[in-house]
């Protein structure tokens, strides 16, 4: 019997995390199901987690300290922690928004197949990254529609 392929590894940018865990955005429902059914693995590192924790303090979100702590713990529980390493990696294209470069670095370092974002500066890099045999950048909705990237539980 062949060994099943490991689930695809994903990196979520902070806005996708917000849509998924804070706003329960229906556009992320298929992604949420894939996570719940262990059809994907999520990656996180210290830099991306620190941004998450910082964004949760924004007054517009109206989250108290307990809610912020629970959301930080929830993110950590859903993810595989990727340590910061000094391993030499292939060069990455530079994102127009320097704050988003950390998501590209995490995806490369963690062997992700996809970086999920709605940020245009990241989405614009999709073709270049794929052309270099790295990972793709797409919206959560596009990822959910891509059956080869997120197979149904029955097919896994």
The pLDDT tens digits along the chain (156 residues) read 778 888 999 999 999 999 999 999 999 999 999 999 999 999 999 999 999 999 999 999 999 999 999 999 999 999 999 988 767 677 777 777 778 999 999 999 999 999 999 999 999 999 999 999 999 999 999 987 774 444 443 343
| Number of folded domains that form the chain | 1
Q: What is the pTM of this model?
A: 0.89
Q: Is residue 3 part of a domain?
A: no
Whether 50 maps to a domain, the answer reads yes
Q: Tell whether 2 is covered by a domain.
A: no
Q: Token pair for residue 70?
A: 């629970």
Q: What is the pLDDT of residues 119-142, one digit of tens each?
A: 999 999 999 999 999 999 999 999
Where residue 52 sits, what CATH number does that domain have? 3.40.50.1010
Domain containing 125 equals 9-155
Residue 114 lies in a domain: yes
């Amino acid at each position: 019997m062949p060994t099943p392929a490991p689930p695809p590894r994903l990196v979520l940018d902070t806005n996708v995390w917000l849509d998924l865990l804070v706003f329960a955005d229906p556009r992320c429902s298929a992604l949420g199901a894939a996570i719940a059914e262990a059809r994907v693995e999520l990656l996180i590192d210290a830099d991306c987690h620190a941004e998450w924790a910082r964004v949760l303090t924004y007054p517009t979100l109206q989250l108290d300290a307990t809610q912020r702590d629970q959301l930080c713990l929830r993110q950590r529980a859903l993810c595989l922690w990727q340590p910061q390493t000094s391993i030499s990696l292939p060069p990455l294209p530079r994102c127009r928004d320097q704050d988003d470069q950390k998501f590209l670095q995490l995806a490369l370092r963690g062997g992700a197949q996809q970086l999920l974002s709605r940020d245009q500066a990241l989405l614009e890099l999709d073709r270049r990254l794929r052309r270099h045999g790295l990972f793709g950048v797409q919206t959560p909705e596009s990822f959910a529609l891509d059956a080869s990237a997120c197979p149904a539980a029955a097919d896994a």
